[in-house]
Amino acid sequence: MEKHTEQELIRLFEDWAGENVEAIHPLPPSGSYREYYRIKSTRHSAIGAYNSDKKENRAFTEFTRHFRSIELNVPELFRENAEEDIYLVEDLGDTTLYAYINQYREGKNYPDRLIDIYKSVIEQLPKFQITAAKNLNYNVCYPRSRFDKRSMMWDLNYFKYYFLKLAKIPFDEEYLEEDFQAFTDYLLRTEIDYFLYRDFQSRNVMLKNGIPYFIDYQGGRHGALQYDLASLLYDSKADMPDEVRKILLDHYITVTSNLIDIKPGEFTQYFYGYVLIRIMQAMGSYGFRGFYEKKEHFLQSIPYALNNLSTLLNTVQLPVKIPTLLNILEKVVNSRRLQSISTDQKTLTVTVNSFSYKRGIPIDVSGHGGGFVFDCRAIHNPGRYEEYKTLTGKDKQVIDFLNKEDDIKQFINHVTNLVDQSVDKYQKRSFTNLMISFGCTGGQHRSVYCAEALAKHLKSKFDIKLVLRHLELEMKQ
């Protein structure tokens, strides 16, 4: 984010809070290009958002006001500056439903406390879809006011070009297009005049004092009830057991039947159709972010999506003829290339960074959090001396300088003992990600040296996938 925008966010916060900002920190990036910051003063905390897409911002702020007016659990909108593309909302904390799942699940099983929290989430969903749909201004929907045939074809083509093509799955484009047409015609036979939240999944549900709150609904539009429920129950990395899905599907039908007349058999039949299009939309996103943009953590969702797709193909028969599409989906499930991604996810990826404290501590984009941050600023700094100023911690002269220092030997020894213990435990527990970061003043000498030393040590001792990045040096290239 540009310094000007950060200053505008600070100004917006101080206007709302009546206090000076004491800290502003970026939050981990999501699947969008929006940027979020936690901003704090002595007595207040809020989330500042920057998004250059004015239409999307308008959808979010209008929906928020409407949802708050009927007492739905969404963040309060404190301030906005439409000209600067920024707004300020209530800070709901850090506990997403996804984080709660990871904290309390028992292996592959969902204990009762998880099922209960999901039931409380599901009890709120019809209030968005049915109650909030009344008097909602659909003119602000972005990019489209309905999840209609065109919207569906956008999602299916997203899947075709960013997943099938990039995963090297062969297909006959003409026959696949015919099946896409037939499939979307089928999905549109059910009622689509409800509010479709669009991205109703575990990372968009916050738990505050055990109560679910909801975020990221700016993509909402007219649509079918089944889509949002499919998004929640087939959320890839939530990895929900199938028997739990059935319990929650029944619970949703029971709760929603108090608001409208639902025929369970017909609802369920269309539900699995919407599960399929949601899975394909998600896989398109994983392909675009992972294969195309090379953001590896998005690829980690592919194995879960493959499992969901395999279960669906083996247990559900849709009342529509789509032979080419089904054949292609079987190829996806059986793809050796995609299965190798699944195998890779069982290998622990250790990311080692060097960084400058001037730019802040690196964000863990894997979404797991945790790990280590080591401060190298107590170590004798070669950057103080003219002959080393243009060099880095990878250059022999700097390495020789630091190798003579007793304090760095002790520092590296303490670091390796701590990290070795975690790597060993993470491998035994089949964890997939660990991030270790070294910071110094400029991110050029001491932190780079330490990151290189740890990476060399870990590679020689453990069977891991190692990612080494020097963030400050990358910015200067």
> Would you call 51 helix, strand, or coil by DSSP?
coil
pTM of the model: 0.78
Q: What is the pLDDT of residues 28-77, one digit of tens each?
A: 766 677 999 999 999 999 999 999 999 999 999 999 999 999 999 999 99
Q: Which residues pair with 89 in a beta bridge?
A: 47, 77
What pLDDT is recorded for position 272? 98
Q: Please check the confidence at residue 1 and state whether its pLDDT lies above 60.
A: no
Q: What is the pLDDT of residues 78-135, one digit of tens each?
A: 999 999 999 999 999 989 999 899 888 887 899 999 999 999 999 999 999 999 999 9
What pLDDT is recorded for position 30? 67
d(CA 99, CA 452): 32
d(CA 263, CA 80): 43
Mean pLDDT, residues 180-196 taken together: 97
Backbone angles phi, psi at 86, to 5 degrees: -130, 155
Average pLDDT over all residues of the chain? 93
Query: DSSP characters for 311-357?
Result: HHHHH---SS--HHHHHHHHHHHH-HHHHHHHHHTTSPEEEEEEEET
Q: What is the pLDDT of residues 335-361, one digit of tens each?
A: 988 988 765 566 788 999 999 998 888
Query: What are the C-alpha distances in Å from 306 to residues 4, 40, 184, 396, 445?
Result: 44, 41, 22, 47, 44
Identify the band that residue 232 occupies on the pLDDT scale cut at 50, 70 and 90. very high
Q: Domains of the chain, with CATH numbers? A: 3-90 (3.30.200.20), 97-344 (3.90.1200.10), 349-476 (no CATH)
Mean pLDDT, residues 284-300 taken together: 88
Could you identify the residue written with the tokens 């890839």? 236
d(CA 371, CA 143): 38
Is the Cα torsion angle 418, 419, 421, 422 positive or negative in sign? positive
Is the pLDDT higher at 96 or at 364?
Answer: 96
Q: Please check the confidence at residue 298 and state whether its pLDDT lies above 70.
A: yes
Residue 33: is it exposed, middle or buried by C-beta count within 10 angstroms (0-12/13-18/19+)? exposed
Query: DSSP characters for 406-467?
Result: HHHHHHHHHHHHHHHHHHHHHHHTT--EEEEEEEESSSSSHHHHHHHHHHHHHHHH---EEE
d(CA 383, CA 390): 8
At position 472, the amino acid (one-letter code) is E
Helix (H) or strand (E) holding 293: none
Q: Please check the confidence at residue 468 and state whether its pLDDT lies above 60.
A: yes
